[in-house]
């Protein structure tokens, strides 16, 4: 397997001299473009105009820029008021201060009222470096993704940061997005797909799926290249949309690979890693290893030094991938996707046949089929649909068995397929 051509990555993405640009630069460029496209776009900043890269917008549209000063709570409420009269406000500060300091104002005046405000959070993650723990926002994804009405986005490079900024301007409703101070590789292109609520498969493989966001997407790609030399094929998924999460893409990769790694420059317990674990635990439980900050505060140091110390580099992702695969192999005696077997005793939804009989499990369906009258069978299995396959897919999330049943030609084939599945 190799890089997905549909991802349209830069041709020199894996070269040692790949261009590096801070993702905050992409935000600044995107904000200026958004201002050109729509006169209702306004910007507010909490005394950090140059650092957050709002300066470009302020210079081009001084009449639409408001310097709030060191008053992040006030900035959020003023923005809510501006949104109420039709403006599209972008509020910018360090992530540690917004949403770190004004979370309640964002919750009550913006999210609760579903105001069209965009919260741009700079200097996120451990790579802030020498500023230390007080300025290294590691919990922001966790506290923002649980807020009702709030979109939560994390760009993987400066180009995607520009796309996110423009998408946020066009989206009706509150949006939170974070970006970093340190320079990171620019490896996507203007043609690389981005859409709120979507993840993109950057690399295809069948052994383990690495789902990453922010700067760790690049680390994941390099890790996958090195793992390929050891005969380990990785899927690498860029998931800039933490909320809404692209469940279809993630579930599909987890089902195919049977093992997952998440990677992010944030607290892994409730960020992207937590979000993926919540999703897969309900519908596609597979072994998962999370690469991220492990329930601790940051500290002062050089950015790359801290990324290594906190386990956020290529070797850490490689080890997590190998651990996840080992966990998968340790459970290989069980079915890859065990839904039909594990949920037999406690299905979430019973199946009521046309003749009134209730089926409580796949085993009961197998027993009922031989004596099922033709009218009942033909009601549930037609040329256009197969209710039994749909039930198994919807309730047990066993798409493999469901697809086999859909291809079956008669009752005996269905009985045989279910019998084989139950023996695994």
Catalytic site positions: 72
Cα→Cα distances 25→16, 30, 165, 384, Å: 21, 9, 11, 52
Q: Can you tell me the distance from the alpha carbon of 265 to that of 292, in angstroms, rounded to the nearest whole number?
A: 6
Task: Note if the bond before 244 is cis, omega within 30 degrees.
Answer: yes
User: Residue 339 in contact with residue 397, Cβ under 8 Å?
Assistant: yes
Q: Can you tell me the distance from the alpha carbon of 286 to that of 235, in angstroms, rounded to the nearest whole number?
A: 15
N- to C-terminal Cα separation, the chain: 28
Give the dihedral of Cα atoms 198, 201, 205, 208; nearest 10 deg: -50
Residue 87 CB partners (closer than 8 Å, separation 6+): 40, 41, 42
Q: Can you tell me the distance from the alpha carbon of 147 to that of 112, in angstroms, rounded to the nearest whole number?
A: 9
Residue 172 CB partners (closer than 8 Å, separation 6+): 116
């Amino acid at each position: 397997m190799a890089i997905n051509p549909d991802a349209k990555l830069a041709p020199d993405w894996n070269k040692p001299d790949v261009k590096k640009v801070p993702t905050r630069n992409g935000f600044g460029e995107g904000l200026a473009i958004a201002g050109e496209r729509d006169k209702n776009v306004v910007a507010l900043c909490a005394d950090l105009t140059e650092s957050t890269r709002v300066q470009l917008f302020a210079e081009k549209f001084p009449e639409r820029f408001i310097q709030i000063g060191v008053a992040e709570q006030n900035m959020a409420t003023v923005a809510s008021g501006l949104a109420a009269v039709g403006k599209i406000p972008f509020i910018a500060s360090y992530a540690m201060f917004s949403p770190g300091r004004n979370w309640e104002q964002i919750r009550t005046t913006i999210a609760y009222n579903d105001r069209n405000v965009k919260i741009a959070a700079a200097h996120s993650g451990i790579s802030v470096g020498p500023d230390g723990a007080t300025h290294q926002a590691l919990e922001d994804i966790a506290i923002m993704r649980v807020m009702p009405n709030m979109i939560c986005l994390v760009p993987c490079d400066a180009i995607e940061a520009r796309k996110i900024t423009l998408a946020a301007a066009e989206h009706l409703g509150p949006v939170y997005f974070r970006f970093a101070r340190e320079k990171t590789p620019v490896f996507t292109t203007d043609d690389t797909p981005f859409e709120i609520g979507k993840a993109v498969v950057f690399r295809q493989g069948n052994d383990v799926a690495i789902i990453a966001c922010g700067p760790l997407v690049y680390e994941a790609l390099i890790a996958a290249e090195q793992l390929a030399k050891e005969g380990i094929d990785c899927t690498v998924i860029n998931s800039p949309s933490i909320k809404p999460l692209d469940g279809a893409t993630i579930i599909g990769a987890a089902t195919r690979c049977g093992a997952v790694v998440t990677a992010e420059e944030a607290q892994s317990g409730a960020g992207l890693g937590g979000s993926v674990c919540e999703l897969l635990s309900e519908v596609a439980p597979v072994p998962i290893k999370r690469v991220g900050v492990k329930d601790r505060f940051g500290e002062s140091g050089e950015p790359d030094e801290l990324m290594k110390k906190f386990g956020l580099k290529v070797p850490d992702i490689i080890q997590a991938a190998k651990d996840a695969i080992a966990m998968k192999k340790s459970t290989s005696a069980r079915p890859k996707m065990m839904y039909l077997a594990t949920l037999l005793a406690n299905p979430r939804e019973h199946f009521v046949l046309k003749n009134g009989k209730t089926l409580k499990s796949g085993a009961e369906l197998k027993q009922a089929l031989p004596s099922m009258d033709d009218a009942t069978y033909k009601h549930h299995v037609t040329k256009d649909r197969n209710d039994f396959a749909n039930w198994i897919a919807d309730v047990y999330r066993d798409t493999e068995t469901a697809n086999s049943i859909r291809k079956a030609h008669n009752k005996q084939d269905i009985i045989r397929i279910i019998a084989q599945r139950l023996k695994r």
